[in-house]
A and B are shown apart, each in its own frame.
Chain A
Amino acid sequence: MRRLSRNLVAICSTLALTAGLAACGGGSDEAGGAGDTIVAETAFNLKTIDPHRQFEFTGSTIDNAIYQTALEFEDGDLTKPTDGLCSYEMSEDNKEMTLTLKDEDAKFSNGDPVTADDIVFSFERLQGIKGNPSFFLEGVKVKKVDDKTVTLTSAEPNPALPYILPNSSIGIVNSKVVKENKGTTDENDGAEQFLNENSQGSGPYKVEKYDADSQVVLTANEHYNGPEPKYKRVVMRNVSAETQLTDIQSGQAQVAFDLNADQAKQIDESMGKISSLPSTRSLYIFNNTDEKIGGPAADPNFRKAVMAAIDYDKLTDLAGKGSQRMASLVPNEFVGAVPKDEAPERDLAKAKKLLQKAGYDGEKVPFHYSSDQAVNGVDLAQLAETLQAQLKEADINLDLKPAPSSTQLDGFRSAKQPMGIGTWGADFPDPTNYNVFIPGGDVADRVNWKDDPKLKKLADEAAEAKGDARDAAYAKLFKATTDTAVWIPLVQPVSTIAVGSSITKFVSNADVSFDFAKAE
């Protein structure tokens, strides 16, 4: 038996030694050091990094570092598009945009210069392949005028175009190489896989390794005509939010994208700092206007009662520091936003009066939401439960109907849900992006909201407004939309990015969540 114990000790010692040896090997730099690499972590929602197909946060963040765009937002100011690869001019009637190639030194990662042909091909490919972001240039005719000039013509006035072009989905690709690799401007395009593994942009980085499930590695583009990035490599890893917190605090990662308000609070100041940006997402309640489906929610008085029963300050507490009240679905930083001080307020007495008017007798109203989804750290299940408790104080009974987001989205789109939580992320920072919520728009269809002459008139007026008047016209339209309480704006959450203390200088704004090329 003594021998048995000796063997046991020997085996355990071997195990411990192996673990020890392995742990010592943690600092290996056989294939490159950590010094010139930024490790960024996010829970992947990556489908592709083909710029003309990508439509999710991860793909967009990566493509921001790879592709240059015709126009940009300087310093994240979403109200003023500025020159990128091109300068621009809009015609008086907002129907024609002239782009002039400005950045003549711009070169793709293989050294080819960026030309007007590349811009035309990129725009036409985006339109023709009918991917998720194709709608950006829907109805726009693209034409090369000369080697430096391209025109974009729309049948209807299109004042949103300058706000659309900075989107990384409209990145300019090397047309020659993409065409050589099955790239076309129609649905037969077969260059997606090629573009995933061999990016063809003129931005500060190019792709070194692409794995949609685990990580994407970027390496500096030696032909980039801007300042040389200090960090030569970027490793974007698929990591859960819990692990991101530990990694940023230990120095294992330099950027973490998915921390919620509580996690952000836990970061030790010596190990990292938080960059809080206004999110371009809106959280709202939807009410179905069809009486057969919506039940009480179809009654304007009931909807307004709900709006008056919500404690909005508690919702901003829930969403964390930096989150904001909303007076409409348009985020506060956009042209056309309704000033925050006009946001709805809680008034329980008013709510009860309105309920009486609506003839509501406390019946349960099914309330749908995605139980597995968090929007900028706001857990929708927690939000739904909070709303249920708040509305209960006004004697409104919500019957919570949680579902996985894929199922929930399906139900909402089929216009059969009476009430629930909706979310909207801006495709581009222009109020026209929110026209889908006005009767006749795609999202309005989901609550069977077909007609509202007053809103239609305001929408027509806003569409014709120019310059500074545009801001006021859209604000008027969306204030009137909020007043119907078909959509009840809840909160504009905050986008939190944790940056490790090894990075002393960085750019992080509402346009580019983290600019890898400018980090020092």
Chain B
Amino acid sequence: MAEATTAPHDAPAASASGEADAAQRIKPPKLHPLLRFILIRIGISIILIWGVTVVTFLLTNLVPTDPVAAILGDRAAADPEIVAQTREKLGLDQPLLVQYFTYLGNLLQGDLGVSNQTRTPVLASIGQVFPASIELGIGAILISVLLGLLLGLLSALKQNSIVDHAIRTLSLIGISAPTFWIATVAYFVFFFKLRVVPGAGRLDPWITPPPKVTGLYTVDSLFAGQMATFANALGHLVLPSCVLALFTIGLLTRFSRSSVLDIIRLDYVTAAKAKGLPARTVVFKYIFRGALVPVITVVGLAFGSLLSGAVLTETVFAWNGLGQYAYRGATTLDLPVIMGVGLVIGVVYILVNFIVDLIYGFVDPRVRVR
């Protein structure tokens, strides 16, 4: 302990003035703080992504069961020759470390492997299903941001009124009700009973999807000028998006409410009111903008969780997205699929966090990098 506290005193003095000058002379030109921030964040993100590959690989391979058994039928699994051949074909006969480096090497070449079940390249399948989840995620995030922020704002502005209580109760329901149950009930009520939305799937089954550009049916049908297909795709999007948005609406309402309540008491808001600025200006320019910062984090994280958490919603609505693909991969012990989806979701989370950090600076000058 004594050594530790005395150590700084034992260290050589900072430097002679001549050395300092020399150091200053060879210093490279200073990077713009924002660029430096971005570069550091990119570096951290790469390390994080590598970490994700290690974790997904280890977790998937430590499952105490044999994927070959899940791949082969009862008869084929009884034949040791076929079992050995399959194991060799999948590289499962190699030591775990070798398997990891093969996986990493392939990954660096953009190869996520081939599904053990369907023999389809995982990257191609993810490319196929990812736009479906993005479309659903964007729909859900738009609905939840719009409603969540407005309800939160309204709740805060009408604090302790009936409106406030009603909104808080609704947000609590949104957060706590199980998505699968809500999805099933919503499908039954809005599709089966009221017939206000079309059935499950991304389009009616007899409609051919528009030519693929982005993979988002709403966007692609517009590109192709197919207005009826666009309306159909949009119709199919409404209910699953709303169901998926419910949790995030509840979360955002609560966050934005408390955030607005914090801001509303600050001096600059009082000053703005005292200056006689119109209520709309005070609410949107002063209160709302200040309240946005913590809310952005929630939106960012919500987007990631919407992608990974849509499994049950996608199952009920036969929405062929990443969630359903992951579910199938997990239930059939399809290791390349599980690792591929895990990696993609990890990358999306990391990317979204990175973007959120950048947006912070634009919204709130106090956290801007100087």
A interface residues with partner B (beta carbon < 8 Å): 1, 3-4, 8, 11, 15, 18-34, 37, 39, 41, 44, 46-48, 55, 130-135, 187, 192-193, 211-215, 233, 235, 237-240, 242-243, 246-247, 249-250, 252-253, 372, 404, 406-407, 409-410, 413, 424, 427, 436, 442-443
Contact = CB atoms under 8 A, between A and B. Distances in A.
A243 B235 contact: no
Contacts of B146: 11, 15
A250 B331 CA distance: 29
Contacts of A407: 64-65
Contacts of A31: 206-208, 226, 229
A249 B150 CA distance: 38
Contacts of B56: none
Contact of B228 (A4, A28, A193): A28
A192 B150 contact: no
Given A212-B117, A214-B129, A372-B331, 13 more contacts: A15-B143, A21-B231, A21-B234, A23-B198, A24-B235, A25-B231, A26-B235, A29-B206, A29-B228, A31-B206, A39-B206, A47-B119, A413-B69
The 4 closest A-B CB pairs, nearest first, are A25-B231, A214-B320, A28-B228, A22-B235
Contacts of B280: 3-4
Given A211-B320, A427-B75, A23 B196 contact: yes
A406 B85 contact: no
A325 to B, nearest CB: 24
Interface string B65-91: 111011011111111001001000000
Interface residues of B, number: 70
A78 B195 CA distance: 43
Contacts of A130: 82, 85
B166 to A, nearest CB: 15
Contacts of B74: 424, 442-443
B235 A192 contact: no
26 contacts: A4-B280, A15-B146, A21-B231, A22-B197, A23-B235, A25-B234, A28-B228, A29-B206, A31-B208, A31-B226, A33-B206, A34-B204, A37-B206, A47-B117, A130-B85, A135-B75, A212-B120, A214-B129, A235-B205, A243-B200, A243-B316, A246-B199, A250-B192, A406-B65, A410-B69, A442-B75
Contact of A23 (B76, B117, B143, B197): B197
B70 to A, nearest CB: 4
A44 B192 CA distance: 23
B333 interface: yes
Contacts of A249: 192
Nearest to A40: B205
Interface string B143-166: 100100010001001000000000
B127 to A, nearest CB: 12
B318 interface: yes
Contact of B78 (A25, A237, A372, A442): A442
Given A39-B206, A242-B316, A213 B228 contact: no
Interface stretch (B18-26, B170-178, B183-191, B342-350): B183-191
B324 interface: yes
B311 to A, nearest CB: 11
Contact of A192 (B73, B119, B318): B119
B77 A413 contact: yes
Contacts of A37: 205-206
B118 A47 contact: yes
A243 B312 CA distance: 12
A30 B229 contact: yes
A70 to B, nearest CB: 21
Contacts of B85: 130, 187
Nearest to A250: B192
A44 B76 contact: no
Contacts of A406: 65, 67, 69-70, 331-333
A246 B154 contact: no
A280 B256 CA distance: 58
A135 B75 CA distance: 7
Residue from B70, B85, B200, B230 with most neighbouring chain A CB atoms (10 Å)? B200
Nearest to B280: A3
A130 B69 CA distance: 16
B333 to A, nearest CB: 5
Contacts of A235: 205-206
B196 A243 contact: no
A250 B65 contact: no
A239 B76 contact: no
Nearest to A240: B315
Contacts of A410: 65-66, 69
Contacts of B316: 240, 242-243
B150 A26 contact: no
A248 to B, nearest CB: 11
B318 A240 contact: yes
Given A11-B150, A243-B318, A410-B66, A132 B237 contact: no
Contacts of A44: 328
Nearest to B329: A213
B232 interface: yes
Contact of A48 (B119, B198, B206, B232): B119
A512 B238 CA distance: 38
Nearest to B117: A47
Given A46-B118, A252-B200, A213 B207 contact: no
Given A134-B76, A212-B118, A239-B200, A25 B331 contact: no
Contacts of A424: 74
A26 B198 contact: yes
A132 B228 contact: no
A131 B72 CA distance: 8
Contacts of A132: 72-73, 75-76
B317 interface: yes
Interface in B82-121: 82, 85, 117-120
A29 B207 contact: yes
B325 interface: yes
B279 interface: yes
Contacts of B67: 406
B201 interface: yes
B279 A30 contact: no
Given A39-B206, A406-B331, A246 B192 contact: yes
B64 A24 contact: no
A63 to B, nearest CB: 15
